[in-house]
Amino acid sequence: MADIIKLLPDHVANQIAAGEVVQRPASVVKELMENAIDAGATSIKLIIKDGGKTLIQVVDDGVGMSETDARLSFERHATSKISSAQDLFNLETKGFRGEALASIAAIAHVDMQTRTTDNEVGTHLKIEGSKIVSQEVVATPKGTSISVKNLFFNIPARRNFLKSNQVELRHITDEFHRVAMVHPNVEFHFYNNGSEIFNLPGTKHRQRIVHIFGSKMEHRLVPVNEETEVVKVSGFICKPEFAKKSRGEQFFFANDRYIKSPYLHHAVVAAFEGLIKSDTYPGYFLFLDVDPSSIDINIHPTKTEVKFDDENTLYAILRSTIKHSLGQFNVAPVLDFDHDPNLDTPYSYKEKGAVIPKVTVDATFNPFEESMAKKSSSSGNFHKQSTKGWEDLYEGLGNQNDHQEFSSVVIESESEEQGTLYSGKEAEEHLASTFQLRRKYVVSTVKSGMLVIHQNRAHERILFEKFLGEITVKEGVSQQLLFPLELTFNKQELSVLKEIQESLTNIGFVFESLEEETVKVTGVPMMVPESGIGTVLDRLIADYMEGYANGSISQAEMLAKALSRNLAVRTGDVLDSESQLMLVNNLFACKEPNLSPFQKITYTIISEGDIDKKFN
């Protein structure tokens, strides 16, 4: 029997190999862009026509190739990147197989122009189906430009298998992102059918991600940084509230190479556990740096799958690093997907637990004293009286001038049972590190960095919750006026006053009668200065009418909003240090400290990391 084994001709072998390396236009894009990176390019241009079916061109300003190298680069297993098997374990480049150009040239029409810095003229090569069809000397800029036309022209089955131009373009864009993201210092341009779809200037990782995914990313990214003996992890995760139902913003890079790793993905998801819904995916852009000898990228021709020596350790490090970032940047606690504010018990006593009522005896009680008798007979009103008794009247007299000035602002302390950020010795320490900035912000320190509170909005939030609570549970404390105040209202205002009288009484207002246009006020909430009563009531009525016209919310809420708006300290008010501390404490004792009643941000935390960045 005759021998039947033959060596396949090169072009057939190349075609078979090409099937492994080049699955679709996006594979060509990946190979050409990676070659440009390996050539040290600082600027890379990608030009695509018809989803890459008609043209894929990559132009770089890298080192270029000599005439001989240019010809050799299309031979199979021709590479400048490794020379021994040992080099495989110390890869610093993207390419190493020396197969890409040979494979591409086997299944397409390739046109290459390249020039090194040392040569004044470059080389122009045309190759079709592995055959060199022309070679010329050419004047060309330093670097390399490779055009790939008519992909799979000689493998119709493959060509027919390609998807629509849009789908192919999407695959190409994915590859483009992966390369661009990991080389933020390199400038990239991407043209599709003549129009520029990406123009990425050289920058840093964060900005590159923002340039690629849009400015909305800016506020979503939380930095991740950890350096251990096994791995250096850097990059960003997206805040949990931006987790998406679809995949797409998950990126792992190992030693500057895009990789897929279901195992490490799981580590990230595990770190987000409890913070995102189970059917959503967290976004992440994570760069792992490991010792090149501890990673094997040789197990798959398209090289997105890698094998790490110590995957279990990597998993643990990754998971804890991300947990740490989530905690450090305060992203964890704000999440409560099923939270429905309407179901909350107002100013809730639910956390406080049950307390055994104390029987208190008023030692100064004199049943024969008229005012006392009145006090005890008006049931339910007891709390609205000043708790401190008659001394308050004198106190008011002595400080009358102070009380009449809006600008000297003192923020009262909330009840002690409420949770506070600082107390006792801690409070003293923080008092020293709390200060007012431009009469607008109160600045303090917290564990993760610097706390900046908008004094007006924060106080609005505090007062809003306080008044809302008082209106609902009727516990407002009243200060009795020494001389009842007479105020005049028109009919409409009067009718509004009557409508909200009960709520106003609950928070500490005492009206003698609301029948005449002249109204006698005999008591006001503790925090309303006597001189401001008229103004506060006027504004309150106006706000209430406006709010009422808009409808929708409850009277209690509307009033609490109006009161907080009118009574909160303002920008420009000077706060003494105790008031500053009180503001911090009371704000964080609120149920929803992060927003003012008018849905404005009340505070921000500038993390240590953010400050560090300013010094870079």
| Least gap, CB of 148 to ligand ADP (angstroms) | 12
* Cβ contact 240:275 at 8 Å: yes
Q: From residue 126 to residue 145, what is the string marking binding to ligand ADP with x (rule CB under 6 A)? A: ------------------x-
Residue 43's φ and ψ, nearest 5 degrees, are -145, 130
Q: What percent of the chain is helix, strand and coil (3-state, nearest 5)?
A: 40, 25, 40
- Extract the runs of DSSP E, i.e. beta strands, from 461-607: 478-488, 510-511, 518-525, 574-575, 603-607
| Least gap, CB of 129 to ligand ADP (angstroms) | 16
147 lies in the site for ligand ADP, by CB under 6 A = no
CA distance 324 to 225: 9
Closer Cβ to ligand ADP, 179 or 581, answer by number = 179
Q: Which stretch binds ligand ADP (CB under 6 A): 57-65, 134-142, 288-296, 361-369?
A: 57-65
46 lies in the site for ligand ADP, by CB under 6 A = no
Please select the residue that binds ligand ADP; options are 18, 29, 36, 496, rule is CB under 6 A.
36
Nearest CA to 458 among 514, 411, 507, 418? 411
| Least gap, CB of 31 to Mg ion (angstroms) | 5
* Cβ contact 505:589 at 8 Å: no
Residue 261's φ and ψ, nearest 5 degrees, are -150, 100
Q: Which stretch binds Mg ion (CB under 5 A): 31-39, 282-290, 558-566, 599-607?
A: 31-39
DSSP secondary structure, 418-446, as one string: S--S--HHHHHHHHHT-EEETTTEEEEEE
Q: Which stretch binds Mg ion (CB under 5 A): 30-38, 367-375, 500-508, 606-614?
A: 30-38
* Cβ contact 561:464 at 8 Å: yes
DSSP 7: P
In the window 81-110, what residues touch Mg ion (CB under 5 A)?
Answer: 95, 100
Closer Cβ to ligand ADP, 79 or 566, answer by number = 79
| Least gap, CB of 57 to ligand ADP (angstroms) | 12
Closer Cβ to ligand ADP, 96 or 198, answer by number = 96
User: If binding means CB under 5 A, how many residues of this protein chain bind Mg ion?
Assistant: 3
In the window 83-122, what residues touch ligand ADP (CB under 6 A)?
Answer: 95-102
- Residue 307 in tokens: 């094998």
Q: From residue 38 to residue 77, what is the string marking binding to Mg ion with x (rule CB under 5 A)? A: ----------------------------------------
Q: Which stretch binds ligand ADP (CB under 6 A): 72-80, 460-468, 513-521, 568-576?
A: 72-80
* Cβ contact 518:488 at 8 Å: yes
Closer Cβ to Mg ion, 98 or 396, answer by number = 98
| Least gap, CB of 79 to Mg ion (angstroms) | 7
User: If binding means CB under 6 A, how many residues of this protein chain bind ligand ADP?
Assistant: 23
- Extract the runs of DSSP E, i.e. beta strands, from 262-359: 284-290, 295-296, 307-308
* Cβ contact 295:307 at 8 Å: yes
242 lies in the site for ligand ADP, by CB under 6 A = no
DSSP 86: G
For residue 584, the one-letter residue type is V
Binding site for Mg ion (CB under 5 A): 35, 95, 100
Binding site for ligand ADP (CB under 6 A): 31, 35-36, 39, 60, 62-65, 73, 78-81, 95-102, 144
